[in-house]
Amino acid sequence: MSSIPVAPPRAAFRKLDAEHVAIALFAPIRDLATEVAMFAYVDSDWRLLGVRTRPSNETGTVDVPIRAIVADALVFDAAGVVMAHNHPSGDPTPSEGDRALTRRLARALDGVGVRLIDHLVLAGPETASFRRIGLL
């Protein structure tokens, strides 16, 4: 599935320097009926360079083409990436598939000198942060 560019970031999201700011940026996907992944690309000062959204037609999975995410990071000349996706089930607990994807993406980004800063799982009012729970 192709990437959908998102409108330029609003002033409130110029810097992604705190988890609550990232959660607010990704809030539009929180309650969707199908899984959607979003990626925020930041520079070394945590300034937001761009956002990409990857929709899905599934309730339990979303396709995350790692090569495309790495390519976007290079195009944006990003120093870091924050990933988020939603769980329509309402349970933000990362699945084993989420964990495996995060490990693969972190390795691929690291290979080009870009850091996967966090992976947030949004489900209703709850959010799980891979960084906060020690998975990144």
* Range of the structural domain that residue 61 is part of: 31-129
Give the pLDDT mean for 118-131.
Answer: 94
pLDDT tens digits, 67-84: 999 999 999 999 999 999
* Residue of 111, 133, 95 whose CA lies nearest to 19: 133
Percent of the chain surpassing pLDDT 90: 68
Q: What CATH number did the domain enclosing 80 receive?
A: 3.40.140.10
Q: Which residue has the higher pLDDT, 107 or 2?
A: 107
Cα–Cα distance measured from residue 36 to residue 59, given in angstroms and rounded to the nearest whole number: 9
The answer to whether position 48 is within a domain reads yes
Per-residue pLDDT at 134 exceeds 90: yes
The answer to whether position 78 is within a domain reads yes
The answer to whether position 107 is within a domain reads yes
pLDDT tens digits, 7-33: 444 445 577 778 888 888 999 999 999
pLDDT tens digits, 80-119: 999 999 999 999 999 999 999 999 999 999 999 999 999 9
How many domains is the chain partitioned into structurally?
Answer: 1
Kindly state the helix (H) or strand (E) to which residue 82 belongs, with its residue range: strand 80-86
Q: Collapsing DSSP states into helix, strand and coil, what is residue 74?
A: helix
Query: Based on the number of CB atoms within 10 Å of its own CB, is 110 exposed (0-12), middle (13-18) or buried (19 or more)?
Result: exposed
